[in-house]
Chain A
Amino acid sequence: METNEKIKKGKILLRGMSTNKGYVVGKVRIILDVSDDRLMSKELYKIKKGEILVAEMTRPLFVICMRKVVAIVTNGGGILCHAAMVSREFGLPSIANTKNATKILKTGQKVLIDANKGIIYEHKDK
């Protein structure tokens, strides 16, 4: 996990609404919501420490992975959505309402989250 603001930024991939400030680099993990909690839990346990959770929206079950992730990005939501509340609680940078983060980003892709401005950049390795 890198948090230095001097990290070289790549091109802008997405913009959204900052719901909790912060600056972090990590690998994306797309989680597509399924109503079956059994399958959903299985997906959430796959998340590795230091990854960035990218989902359409989050719901209370998602808290089981919150201590592993370093940031949250959602397609929908706003300042009072579940993901925003949880990210404030865990001190995670978060960006909501990106519209299509689950489509644009790919699992394993390294990105830079600038949740001060609500921008997701491609991460450029030094």
Chain B
Amino acid sequence: MNIKTNKIFKYPKVIYNEQELLDVYKKKFPKIIKEYEIFVKKTYCNPVAYKKIIKEKSKKFDIQFTKIVKGSKNSKDDFYSLLKTSINLHKNYAFNFWLISYATGEGNWAIYYVDLMESILKKLYINDEDSFLLARKSFLKTDFEIFYHKILIDSVKLIDLLKENSLKKILDSAKKVSPEKRILIYDNLISETKKLKKINPWVLSIFERHKNNRVPIYNLFNQGIDYYEENLNLRTELDNTSKIIKQTLRFAKKKLSSKDFNLLKNSYFLVKEIITTRDFIFGRKDKKLFHFWGDLNHKILNTFQKEFGKDISFLDLGDRNFLIIPWVLEKYLPKKFLKQQYKKLK
């Protein structure tokens, strides 16, 4: 094990993404340290507790976020109000989003469970490197490989369904030319397919969904034509993943002590939950959140210039603005504002 168990219970010193906020939040919201420690203690090797807390945090984040957005619409567009909205947004983000997706989801806490899983699998296949590697690969795949490789898997399905409809000739002609020159052939194929009486609803739904931008369809065709066999093998392999995991867990139950078996099972399910949480539950909030945050920060920088007569547009870092604003503004604020109003914001 690379990471010692006692190390994961303390607020981290390093996380792999957004190290900036790790330090900023520690300083600005000291309660985050306690919150972190409570969270990791409650969820240690406990995927059920993790799932329950995530559900609560996610709900809390959404409620708070809606409240902040609503409040900002009703409040004035002056510098003080905008700054207040920004700080409230950070508070909600820190405790109900960042703590989950970054401080734990991308830090040593998450890596610890990957390590734990690996070390127990090594024990299970002590003299069998191949079985260990296959189990490791399968356990780290989680269910989301299918999502990540969707283009490749769907390309096989698409080609199979088109072949069924005697469109093989057109497909074969596409194979002979480079991907850049295939677009005309693909467009022809799409219109030929649409003329067919018996058309698979899934194929039709793909063509309909991307009728304004056909790039995703071209990608599917290219993958299906250039790498059909490889993608077919990938699909088979992914289909077998859950079978391998079930077999490994059954074997582990027989061979390992109940303590090790439970650690393996729980670390596997926790890793799965961590990825689902980070990439799906919270990942889906990203777009709405950062769109609002970006607009807000832009307004803050503009209003600053209007109210205080100082140009701080050099602080405009685009998408990464949310990392520094409002904290960095402190050193540019007039003394009067700092004394009278800024204190109230903290």
Residues of A near any B CB (own CB < 8 A)? 17, 37-38, 41, 45, 60-61, 63-64, 67, 76-80, 82, 85-86, 88-89, 96-97
Contacts and interface: CB of A to CB of B under 8 A. Distances in A.
Contacts of B144: 85
Nearest to A85: B148
A38 B253 CA distance: 49
Given A37-B213, A85-B145, A78 B180 contact: no
Contacts of A77: 16-17
Interface of B: 16-17, 105-106, 110-111, 114, 137, 140-141, 144-145, 147-152, 179-180, 213, 215-216, 218-219, 222-223, 226-227, 230, 234, 271, 274-275, 278-279
Given A38-B213, A78-B110, A80-B110, A17 B16 contact: yes
A89 B216 contact: no
Contacts of A97: 16-17
Contact of A78 (B106, B137, B213, B279): B106
A45 B180 contact: yes
Main secondary structure of the interface of B (DSSP, over half): helix
B148 A86 contact: yes
A63 to B, nearest CB: 6
Contacts of B151: 60-61, 63-64
Contact of B148 (A17, A82, A96): A82
A1 to B, nearest CB: 17
B152 A63 contact: yes
A28 to B, nearest CB: 22
A96 B216 contact: no
Contacts of B111: 78-80
